[in-house]
């Protein structure tokens, strides 16, 4: 008899725990949806987001500020940056493009970065003496080969400028804010 009572007791306590659990679930059924219907609706990317790095466009010159000093390439933990460039002319001989008179006029030929191996630690952006780098807001990064992740940022900036598109196009403007 006592065994049977215990059996009934177990059923009763099991049913009680089921009801208390269901109470929580049912309560949440009437709360607003927390998910976003992703490709149609997107959330805004906050300012501090670290996407693949890109070159900052100087609003005055319309060009980047990189002087090919190579600090970013040296500090990079994964060695994914390679900057090519050199002193072409001393400042003053051809003032065009020189940021400051005392600066040697440096041309950055290429700024190649392999995004696939970048760990987005931010050391390159922080170490840049001319603040020529920043994080983009790109987050949909996929490609069909490893090679597509290797990008020459200088060439990309030039190509984008040629079609009248700012490199900042990688920073999507205000998007449809999902209803909270």
Partner 1 sequence: MTPQAMLDPTHTLSEDTFYLNMGPQHPSTHGVLRLLLRLSGERILECDPVLGYSHRGQEHIAQNKTYLQFLPYPGRMDYLSALMFNHAHCLAVEKAAGIAVPERAEYIRVICAELNRISSHLLWLGAYLMDLGAFTPFLYCFDDREDIMDLLLPVTGSRLTYCYSRFGGVAKDIDETFVTGLRAFIKKLRGRLKDYDKLVNKNVIFINRTRDVGVISADMARAYGLTGPCLRGSGVAYDVRRAEPYSVYPEFAFEIPVRSGGDCLDRYMVRFLEMEQSLRIIEQALDRLPQGPVAPAKPVRVVKVPAGDYHCVYESARGQVGIYLVSDGGKNPYRMKWRVPSFSNLSVLPKLLVNTLVADTIAILGSVDVVMPEIDR
Quickly count helices (H) and strands (E) in the chain: 4, 5
Assess 140 for contact with partner 1 (CB under 8 A): no
1-32: string of b/e by CB count within 10 Å (b at 16+)?
eeeeeeeeeeeeeeeeeeeeeeeeeeeeeeee
CB of 110 to partner 1, least distance (A): 23
Q: How far is the CB of 25 from partner 1 (least distance, A)?
A: 6
Nearest alpha carbon to residue 152 among 100, 116, 111, 180: 111
Report whether 105 contacts 97 (CB < 8 A).
Answer: yes
In angstroms, give the least distance from the CB of 77 to partner 1. 4
Report if residue 123 touches partner 1, rule: CB under 8 A.
yes
- List the interface residues with partner 1, window 48-87 (CB under 8 A): 48-50, 75-77
The binder of partner 1 chosen from 6, 126, 155, 169 (CB under 8 A):
126
> Which residues make up the interface to partner 1 (CB under 8 A)?
10, 13-14, 17-18, 20-21, 23-25, 28, 34, 46-50, 75-77, 119-123, 126-127, 135
């Amino acid at each position: 008899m006592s065994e049977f009572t215990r059996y009934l007791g177990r059923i009763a306590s099991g049913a009680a725990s089921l009801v208390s659990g269901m109470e929580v679930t049912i309560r949440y059924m009437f709360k607003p949806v927390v998910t976003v219907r992703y490709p149609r609706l997107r959330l805004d990317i906050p300012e501090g987001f670290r996407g693949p790095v890109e070159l900052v466009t100087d609003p005055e010159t319309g060009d980047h500020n990189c002087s090919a000093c190579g600090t970013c390439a040296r500090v990079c933990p994964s060695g994914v940056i390679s900057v090519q460039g050199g002193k072409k002319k001393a400042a003053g001989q051809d003032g065009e493009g020189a940021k400051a008179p005392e600066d040697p006029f440096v041309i950055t030929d290429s700024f190649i970065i392999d995004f696939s191996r970048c760990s987005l630690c931010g050391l390159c952006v922080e170490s840049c003496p001319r603040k020529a780098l920043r994080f983009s807001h790109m987050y949909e990064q996929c490609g069909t080969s490893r090679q597509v992740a290797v990008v020459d940022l200088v060439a990309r900036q030039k190509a984008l400028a040629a079609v009248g598109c700012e490199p900042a196009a990688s920073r999507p403007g205000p998007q449809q804010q999902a209803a909270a």
